[in-house]
Amino acid sequence: MGNLDGGSATHPSLSVLDAGDAKPPRHLPPGAPERHPQGVYPSCFDALLSEDVAWLLKATEAPHAPQAGPEQCPIIDSQLVSPGQGCSLSPQLEEQVEEGSLEQVQTLVVGEVMKDIETACKLLNIMADPMEWSAGNVQKWVLWTEHLYRLPQVGGAFRELSGRDLCAMNEEDFRQRCLQSGDVLHAHLDIWKSATWMKARCTLEDNKISEREELWAEADSSCSGQPIHLWQFLRELLLKPHTYGRCIRWLNKEKGIFKIEDSASVARLWGLRKNRPAMNYDKLSRSIRQYYKKGIIRKPAVSQRLVYQFVHPV
């Protein structure tokens, strides 16, 4: 990360966090994205940090999603989105806006965005900064975004593009390569770019590590450069119920009992993580069964389909 001075806000869009009164400029022009001199991005957080929090909610909505559910709002956790409300503002959020506590709301939203991007980075084993992505990383990100928003598959539309190439493309470029979902991919990339910029600014200020992040650090071996194990990967998914609850969820967290709700999706995610495009549930379940002998995972006392149990719960 480039700009770590952390003290003065060097981009106008951030003044809202510092002063709370300035109206930041809205969007960048639709040309190539500006690159901050220090190597980070001033971008759509102009919108995110201004009066329109709903912009993010809208941008993260899945236009092709058939139903409301946690996966349709992967970036906004339940603190902001009430169950059954889809991506509308929760009463709590509305109240805060009415009270003029927009700054706190914005900080909350930014925090949630960053958490989810961090999660995706760990699962895909890619850098948070799109400028650092290789062509392979770009492919992973595209596949991931397709899965997350249930977009039609773009195939090789972005093949052989590096992250730098991708960042240089505007929305129209995305649409030209992928008519159906180019706009969503562009919006999603914009959020990543903006989060990178925000993270660079906030790194020195943010020393608080949430309980969940500690669990992540414990569970995630990708931080240490070690290959991730399947049981770790499953636990990572289970620790993000807002994002992956539709695929896998706890039945009894205390006992470590979980259920794979969408076997195909879990297998696809595992395949993405391990660069095994041919992964399926048959193979994944075989790997899970290998854990029986090792005493890592077992079937619960009352055996049910797609239900497994960690021998040593979190």
Closest C-alpha among 104, 108, 63, 111 to residue 87: 63
The residue within the footprint of DNA, chosen from 307, 309, 310, 314 (CB under 7 A), is: 307
For 87, the token pair is 């991506």
Q: Is 134 in the site for DNA (CB under 7 A)?
A: no
The residue within the footprint of DNA, chosen from 183, 299, 309, 313 (CB under 7 A), is: 299
Q: With contacts defined by CB under 7 A, name the span among 92-100, 163-171, 207-215, 269-277 that binds DNA.
A: 269-277
Q: With respect to DNA, which residue has the nearer C-beta, 88 or 304?
A: 304
Taking the complex as a whole, the smallest distance from the CB of residue 311 to DNA amounts, in Å, to 14
Q: Is 284 in the site for DNA (CB under 7 A)?
A: yes
Q: With respect to DNA, which residue has the nearer C-beta, 208 or 286?
A: 286
Taking the complex as a whole, the smallest distance from the CB of residue 301 to DNA amounts, in Å, to 11
Q: Is 289 in the site for DNA (CB under 7 A)?
A: yes
Closest C-alpha among 255, 291, 287 to residue 271: 287
Taking the complex as a whole, the smallest distance from the CB of residue 249 to DNA amounts, in Å, to 14
Q: Is 252 in the site for DNA (CB under 7 A)?
A: no
Q: With respect to DNA, which residue has the nearer C-beta, 195 or 269?
A: 269
Q: Is 279 in the site for DNA (CB under 7 A)?
A: yes
Enumerate residues 166-185 that contact DNA by CB under 7 A.
Answer: none
Instruction: Give the distance between the most distant pair of CA atoms in the chain.
Output: 61
Q: With respect to DNA, which residue has the nearer C-beta, 134 or 285?
A: 285
For 112, the token pair is 């949630």
Taking the complex as a whole, the smallest distance from the CB of residue 313 to DNA amounts, in Å, to 18
Closest C-alpha among 79, 54, 57, 53 to residue 68: 57
Q: Is 311 in the site for DNA (CB under 7 A)?
A: no
> Is 246 exposed, middle or buried, given 0-12, 13-18 or 19+ CB atoms closer than 10 A?
middle
Asked if 57 and 76 count as a contact pair (C-beta separation under 8 A), the reply is: yes
Q: With respect to DNA, which residue has the nearer C-beta, 55 or 231?
A: 231
Q: With respect to DNA, which residue has the nearer C-beta, 91 or 227?
A: 227
Q: With respect to DNA, which residue has the nearer C-beta, 192 or 258?
A: 258
Enumerate residues 229-248 that contact DNA by CB under 7 A.
Answer: 229-231
Enumerate residues 190-229 that contact DNA by CB under 7 A.
Answer: 227, 229
Count of residues interacting with DNA (CB under 7 A) = 27
Asked if 197 and 43 count as a contact pair (C-beta separation under 8 A), the reply is: yes
Q: With respect to DNA, which residue has the nearer C-beta, 149 or 270?
A: 270
Contact positions vs DNA (CB under 7 A): 227, 229-231, 263, 270, 274, 276, 278-279, 281-287, 289-290, 292, 294, 299, 303-307
